[in-house]
Chains A and B, each alone.
Chain A
Amino acid sequence: GQNIDQPTEMTATEGAIVQINCTYQTSGFNGLFWYQQHAGEAPTFLSYNVLDGLEEKGRFSSFLSRSKGYSYLLLKELQMKDSASYLCAVRDLGRAGNMLTFGGGTRLMVKP
């Protein structure tokens, strides 16, 4: 089976940097996704890691270590609009199709 853990809630200050961690256990790792979800809205794709290392995309970066079953999402220069839930999802070769298993999400609150 799969197990994905991420903190339930985090709080940070506008302009600061925040790191959201995700740990996973899977039988056949085939990629890790980060999605952003504002309350009551659809998740939107942020980043994808399948090889070890850091992927940078503007203010957002995502890191993966497959040997440790660990990823993080780094948000720089935080803005109030970054207040949202951040979902970590893993794709497993052992599951048919393109099915993802999602963590519970981390609700980030950005304060002035």
Chain B
Amino acid sequence: DGGITQSPKYLFRKEGQNVTLSCEQNLNHDAMYWYRQDPGQGLRLIYYSQIVNDFQKGDIAEGYSVSREKKESFPLTVTSAQKNPTAFYLCASSISGRAWLNEQFFGPGTRLTVL
């Protein structure tokens, strides 16, 4: 079955540690996105990538880093510079940036808690 996977579903880390969240898709989508969701709030864009080996900062990129070495994979690293990293992290993908409908498909999310 095609889809987007994120692992793990729950992640606990100590303050000051970097942590990498995985996101894999087998939908053959060109574009991938990382969002952060805080309780009772909407999704905020962290980083996005429209093509392999290229990515752009979103609205709240500070304290995060990404890579896009393969079309299927878009891992997100939450660094120790991120002041408030505890949140629900959602990865999404879409066919490309310019199609008519081109809705984004979301993975199941990773809930990161920094202790």
Contacts and interface: CB of A to CB of B under 8 A. Distances in A.
Given A43-B90, A104-B42, A98 B105 contact: no
A97 B29 CA distance: 13
Given A43-B43, A103-B42, A107-B40, 7 more contacts: A40-B111, A87-B42, A87-B43, A89-B43, A96-B56, A98-B94, A99-B45
B105 A97 contact: no
Could you say which interface size class chain A belongs to? 20 to 34
A98 B102 CA distance: 8
Contact of A100 (B50, B99, B104): B104
Interface of B: 31, 33, 35, 40-45, 48, 50, 56, 58, 88, 90, 94, 96-109, 111
B33 to A, nearest CB: 8
A104 B40 contact: yes
Interface of A: 4, 8, 31, 33, 40-45, 48, 50, 87, 89, 96-105, 107
A48 B101 contact: yes
Contacts of A50: 100
Contacts of A100: 45, 104
